[in-house]
Structure 1
Amino acid sequence: MDKFFQIGEVSNFISENKQRFEDALLHEAANVRDRIDDILKFGNIDLVNNAHKLVGFILEGKNEELRLFAKQEGIAWASHELTLSFKLEWVQAIRRTLWAFIQENNKAAKEIALDDFFLFEKQINNGVDAFLNAFFINFSTYKDALIKSQRELVENLSVPIIPISPTICILPLIGTVDTFRTNVMEEKVLQEIGKLRIQTLILDLSGIAEMDNEVIDHLLKIIDGSSMMGCRTVITGLRAEVVRKMIHLGFRFGKDTETFGSLQQALNKHISYLELDIKSNF
């Protein structure tokens, strides 16, 4: 029997038994079955209709449409943070259900030549595998880009350099400062000094209750690096606990580093200097 005729028969057989196909599919995908309504509600993804679409692309050999459909599904699944195990179970259930209906249809049809059967098997399984491959590639690509974007946002929020004049900026630090954050801070501070031509960086530490030894050491190196680029660092709001630790460990700020008890005190002084410079230019 011609394989294309056989494929057409299978497609017609599934269409004529659409409800029975869906019931069999839901039976195969036991874990996904109870989540179908939730996935439709929160992700706007109709798994049952998409299953029919996938089967149609595979049976009709529409490889480009299959690839684009897999890309669409991968991005949708990633953007709504849906569980990958559900998708894998669902697609494998589609594969098993499709083969069950192929077997059932073939019982009522004439015998198919062995060579034709293997060509048919290759088209079906390669189609399912191609969908899964494209789905996971696009899922991973979109997820990686999303994670990178979110990480950049977090990095910017964790090191917020705020200009208050053409030459003076404030860097308020709040919460936990760990090695990762000091690495981000080092990179961003040095970049912004070069880009904005910052001459004075006011580093407000009033929101930091504790810093470990490695973080303190890294902070001092950032201050030294800033000085090498012609930027003076002003430290404000150091808490007693941090100061005691620095004293016991023998850490010292450089002679050019100013310290103030509060951010307000530092702003009062440096804004006053700025106003005097402006007046002297007129």
Structure 2
Amino acid sequence: MNFRLRLLREERKSLRPNGQEKNKKAPQTDNTLSRLASIGQIAAGIAHEVRNPLTAVKGFLQLLQEEVSHSYLDIACSELDQAIATLQDLLQVSKPDLEDEPYIAINLCSELESLLYLFQDQIYRVQIVRNFRNSDEIIYGKRNQLKKAFFNLLKNAFEAIPDKGIITIEQYRVGDFVYVVICDTGVGVPKEKLQLLGTPFFTTKDEGTGMGLTQVFSTIYQHGGTIDVKSKEGIGTTFTIQFPTEIREQIGVIDLDLQYVKGQSFKEYFLLNQDRFKELFAGETKDINQLMDDSMQKINLHDIFDKMAKLLVEDRQHELVMLAKELGKIGAKNDVPLVIKLEMLQAFRKVYWNFLHNYYKHVGLDMEGVFQLGIKTNFILDHYIFHYFSSYIEYKDELLRSHRETIDDLSVPIIPLSASMAVLPIVGTLDTYRAKKVQERTLNQIASLKIQKIIIDLSGVAFMDTAVVGHLFRIVEGIGLLGCKAIVTGIRPEIANTMIELGIAFTEKVDTKATLQQALEEYQ
């Protein structure tokens, strides 16, 4: 996630060739990054809640295939493979660091040439125009991830050309940036859909998951680059990708011009140079401050880190933990993004370590002492981060639970019409989770209110998948077990078709009416 902040810093610092600032791209870049950042939260749940059970199901199907040969089993395994592959793509896009690949020097022209060999079967209908200037330029990155990104872009370009056309590939350097431009004469993308490119599962193709361009955007941004897309329907699409020629940061401590009095402790040394610490920390975090909106400005993060530094210097670990818990809750209440807190913690750690280095340079600490100091300092800081994140997430989870409970209460509104009769209007999308809540709350209220008749109106249901249809009408059967008569109204033709396909048949305890009005007129 720290690449996001680095990218935004580059967006604010870098200039166009004519000297004008590139601020116009920053909002678009930020919006795309925000969409991609959300994937990480989705993917973490998917990894455990969806992929693992599917893998288990696939294993059992493979065992069945060993015993029985059936085309249905082959189809099921094939579909499962496709689903698992899609989930894996999502995980790799949201957490690219799962692939332990080192940063190496990459010649983009060579990599593009090698990728074009994969499309030899398309050369008969699509002309390739190469315009490689500054072909010896090098960038640093993860070679396989970048190759996959450019493969997806080239694949999209070929697929966008239905008959014959031209794909132009350019590479050049301007200032401190290397540019790659891929332009096709394909069908183009509608203007209103350009902003959605890179969003997971969005695609303009009849077939496809949309994960290809998501991987492209994610990889380019992870490498400190930017993407600009221009397209006109019937004319074609142009992707312009910009890379910094060097994105690796200098890592290591630096010598500082700080005051030192022989024989003083680190605490005394820190207090003597405290103003310098604040100055260095402010310099490291000035770009982060620009990302904070008005609501976050209510929290004086620099004062907080001053307090944190004092507690760390004085080795007051318990108070530091309590501060982390308090600040985690405050950060969650004020919607301070975790990525900003992480960036500031990273800046704090960097400045603090530089102070330690410059102090112990005077003291002459041996190697064993350096390691002990490093382990202790990092342990305390990591402990702080752990408690901050735990408190932050605990508050957010509690808030979500509270909202969910409110929504649950509103989503199952049983309306008593008399001492023995009630109406349950179901409105909106009915998914599996909500169907379970309908089951739980409806059965409990029927029992507690001693309801003898309940009208379940489905006319306001926007969508109901096959699994939910079956579940809902099992609930209707359960209502009958409590001695309550169920009257179902508003069944639309598509729901009726699903019931027929599933073989759902009502017992004599269930009546159906076309509309809620008809049911009210007959049973009241």
Which TM-score applies when normalising by structure 2? 0.45
Question: Which among 132, 147, 172 is matched to residue 425 of structure 2?
Answer: 172
2:316 aligns to what? 62
Residues of 1 paired with 2:284 and 2:378: CA distance? 17
Task: Call closer, same or farther: CA 1:69–1:94 in 2, change over 3 Å.
Answer: same
The alpha carbon displacement at 1:203 in A equals 0.4
Question: Which among 272, 293, 307 is matched to residue 53 of structure 1?
Answer: 307
More helix by share: 1
The alpha carbon displacement at 1:69 in A equals 0.9
1:72 aligns to what? 326
Q: Does 1:13 align with 2:272?
A: yes
Residues of 1 paired with 2:319 and 2:489: CA distance? 61
The alpha carbon displacement at 1:247 in A equals 4.3
Bigger shift: 121-130 or 49-58? 121-130
Tell whether the 8 Å contact from 1:167 to 1:198 is kept in structure 2 after alignment. yes
Question: SS of the residue aligned with 1:176?
Answer: strand
Runs (5+) with no aligned partner, structure 2: 1-262
Residues of 2 paired with 1:64 and 1:70: CA distance? 10
Q: Percent identical across equivalent pairs?
A: 33
Residues of 1 paired with 2:264 and 2:368: CA distance? 14
Task: Call closer, same or farther: CA 1:31–1:234 in 2, change over 3 Å.
Answer: farther
Tell whether the 8 Å contact from 2:270 to 2:355 is kept in structure 1 after alignment. no
The size of the alignment, in residue pairs, is: 262
The alpha carbon displacement at 1:209 in A equals 4.8
Q: Does 1:156 align with 2:409?
A: yes
1:186 aligns to what? 439
In angstroms, what is the RMSD of aligned CA positions?
2.8
Tell whether the 8 Å contact from 1:159 to 1:171 is kept in structure 2 after alignment. yes
**1:53-202 alignment, distance < 5 Å:** 53-106=307-360, 111=364, 121=374, 123-202=376-455
Residues of 2 paired with 1:119 and 1:13: CA distance? 24
Residues of 1 paired with 2:402 and 2:455: CA distance? 28
Question: Which among 214, 226, 237 is matched to residue 467 of structure 2?
Answer: 214
Tell whether the 8 Å contact from 1:166 to 1:198 is kept in structure 2 after alignment. yes
Task: Call closer, same or farther: CA 1:208–1:110 in 2, change over 3 Å.
Answer: closer
The alpha carbon displacement at 1:242 in A equals 2.7
Question: SS of the residue aligned with 2:459?
Answer: strand
Which TM-score applies when normalising by structure 1? 0.80
Tell whether the 8 Å contact from 1:210 to 1:241 is kept in structure 2 after alignment. no
The alpha carbon displacement at 1:229 in A equals 1.0
Task: Call closer, same or farther: CA 1:213–1:92 in 2, change over 3 Å.
Answer: closer
More strand by share: 2
The alpha carbon displacement at 1:82 in A equals 2.9
Q: Over alpha carbons, which structure has the higher Rg?
A: 1
1:44 aligns to what? 298
The alpha carbon displacement at 1:84 in A equals 1.6
Question: SS of the residue aligned with 2:418?
Answer: coil
Q: Which of structures 1 and 2 has the larger relative contact order (alpha carbons within 8 angstroms, sep 6+)? A: 1
1:274 aligns to what? none
Runs (5+) with no aligned partner, structure 1: 272-282
